[in-house]
Chains A and B, each alone.
Chain A
């Protein structure tokens, strides 16, 4: 069964450094998302992406965040200058239709030191 893949599974970064989290959505999906889950808390929406542009973003997704689809398969989340509070599990998801189920990757655990 096709799946969303995320790399790396765990990223450790010094505060203030830039980090790029990578995702390969399911190949025929058109809608892409990033969510985050701070340890022990609920999953929070960051951004959705369709037709090569951001369609929605939450208050969390401020100027230090950006997303990109650099080629036909990858979907990346960049955090420009990481802060301690960016430590979380980051999930990429994709869906084939606008209103259908979103399929999540296994997540990238980001630890900011």
Chain B
């Protein structure tokens, strides 16, 4: 079974609109971390936001927020006020504390921001 599922291979959003990128995960651990990374066409991996499984508040970092619904095992990324520079691949990743430090990545969602 897939540990991380991102059901949207591609998304389009109008500039200045908000967009939600979906991520669901599968774990039996009680303690885990969820991460979002951005990969522009140039290829680098840019860390965006982190949510710990015990965090009660949804994480926010500037225009990025993470809509964490633990019971549903979802950790959707919300980008507010999209900008053209947000066009990129976005990867959701999970680290399970009982399985060590390595990340498991989802297949990614390609976001295209339209002018």
Chain A residues near B (Cβ < 8 Å): 31, 33, 35, 41-45, 48, 50, 55-56, 58, 89, 91, 93, 95, 98-107, 109
Contacts of A95 in B (CB 8 A): 101
State the interface size on chain B (CB cutoff 8 A): 24
Partner of B44, one of A42, A98, A107: A107
Tell whether B100 is near chain A: CB-to-CB under 8 Å: yes
Known contacts A99-B33, A99-B95, A101-B35; A48/B44 CB under 8 A: no
With contacts A42-B108, A43-B91 taken as known, whether A102 is within 8 angstroms of B43 at the C-beta atoms is no
A45 to B104 alpha-carbon distance, docked (Å): 7
Give A51 Cβ to nearest chain B Cβ, in Å: 12
Q: Residues of A contacting B46 with CB < 8 Å?
A: 104
Given the complex, which residues of B lie within 8 Å of A89, measured CB to CB?
Answer: 43
Kindly state the separation between the CA atoms of A7 and B50 in the bound complex, as whole angstroms. Answer: 27
**CB nearest neighbor in B for A106:** B44
A45 x B103 contact (CB < 8 A): yes
Asked if B17 is at the interface (CB within 8 A of a chain A CB), the reply is no
Task: Known A89-B43, A102-B47, A106-B44; judge A42-B101 contact (CB<8 A).
Answer: no
* A45:B91 contact, CB within 8 angstroms: no
Q: Which residues of B contact A41 (CB under 8 A)?
A: 107
Pick from B91, B95, B103 the residue with the most CB of A within 10 Å.
B103
Closest residue of chain A to B97, judged by CB? A99
Inside 8 A of B101's CB, which chain A residues have their CB?
31, 33, 48, 50, 55-56, 95, 98-99
Shortest CB-to-CB span from A24 to chain B, Å, is 15
- Within the assembled complex, what's the spacing in Å between the Cα atoms of A31 and B97? 15
Instruction: Indicate whether A42 sits within 8 Å of B106 (C-beta atoms), given known contacts A31-B101, A101-B35, A104-B45.
Output: yes
**Residues in B37-52 with C-beta less than 8 Å from chain A:** 37, 42-47, 50, 52
